[in-house]
């Protein structure tokens, strides 16, 4: 029986993951929240799922490394420093980090990369995401994941071609750039559309999340998968064999 520990267990995602663990017939090793005993949880878990906060990530990684326990990280709003920390931890344990654990979004990112690779830079790429009013970061981790997929398809660095927060007189759109727009309101679990726009034609690839259960189900699947892996950094496409 796989024992899964949840970091951020009292949050909405944490509660959904606990239900997904039960639905899958797996064992919940326990859960912790802010200032909780992550080390104690890691000591009794076979794998950890972290949906807490960027500020807590370093301590969570330290606890996982000390216990030699694999980890799935679904926390969004990560900065470059956090990715350095994940890379360091991945030298000791298996770590799967993603901006979205949905299996549908994982496949969407694959399709976005394929489309971006085959359509020329004269096709403008715009990513629009909508989330509930309580979400605190923008663009969403999923929007950035999709932006990275598009950038990889074009063999460019997202940071070099990213356009965010247009306001006022911005001038004409620069060819080859990838734009982002974030909408907030209501109780939307997460809608994402990647628009490819050319002269006289448009292509839109979309994913709409109806509830957090899809993310929880994907996180549990990822946890089962990464538990069997050697130390290293892994991604959701690998879970699906993409």
Which residues are known to be catalytic?
Answer: 131, 135
Q: Is 234 helix (H, G, I), strand (E, B) or coil?
A: strand
Q: Please give the Cα distance from 219 to 237 (Å, whole number).
A: 13
Phi, psi dihedral angles at 227 (to 5 degrees): -60, -30
- The candidate with the shortest Cα–Cα distance to 37, out of 11, 2, 66, is 66
Label residue 40 exposed, middle or buried (CB < 10 Å: 0-12, 13-18, 19+). middle
Q: Is 38 helix (H, G, I), strand (E, B) or coil?
A: helix
Q: Is 87 helix (H, G, I), strand (E, B) or coil?
A: helix
What distance lies between CA 169 and its chain's CA centroid? 33
């Amino acid at each position: 029986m796989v024992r899964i520990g949840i970091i951020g267990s009292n949050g909405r995602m944490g509660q959904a993951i606990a239900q997904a663990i039960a639905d899958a017939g797996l064992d919940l090793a326990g859960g912790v929240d802010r200032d909780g005993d992550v080390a104690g949880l890691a000591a009794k878990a076979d794998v950890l799922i972290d949906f807490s906060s960027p500020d807590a990530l370093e301590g969570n990684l330290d606890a996982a490394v000390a216990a030699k326990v694999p980890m799935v990280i679904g926390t969004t709003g990560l900065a470059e420093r956090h990715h350095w920390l994940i890379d360091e931890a991945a030298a000791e344990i298996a770590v799967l980090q993603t901006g979205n654990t949905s299996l549908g979004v994982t496949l969407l990112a694959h399709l976005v990369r394929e489309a971006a690779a085959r359509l020329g830079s004269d096709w403008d790429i715009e990513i629009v995401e909508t989330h509930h009013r309580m979400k605190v970061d923008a663009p969403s981790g999923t929007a950035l994941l999709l932006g990275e997929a598009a950038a990889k398809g074009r063999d460019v660095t997202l940071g070099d071609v990213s356009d965010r927060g247009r306001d006022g007189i911005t001038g004409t759109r620069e060819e080859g750039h990838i734009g982002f727009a974030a909408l907030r309101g209501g109780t939307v679990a997460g809608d994402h559309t990647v628009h490819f726009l050319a002269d006289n034609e448009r292509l839109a690839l979309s994913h709409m999340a109806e509830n957090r259960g899809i993310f929880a189900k994907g996180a549990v699947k990822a946890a089962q998968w990464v538990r069997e892996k050697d130390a290293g950094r892994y991604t959701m496409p690998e879970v699906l064999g993409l």
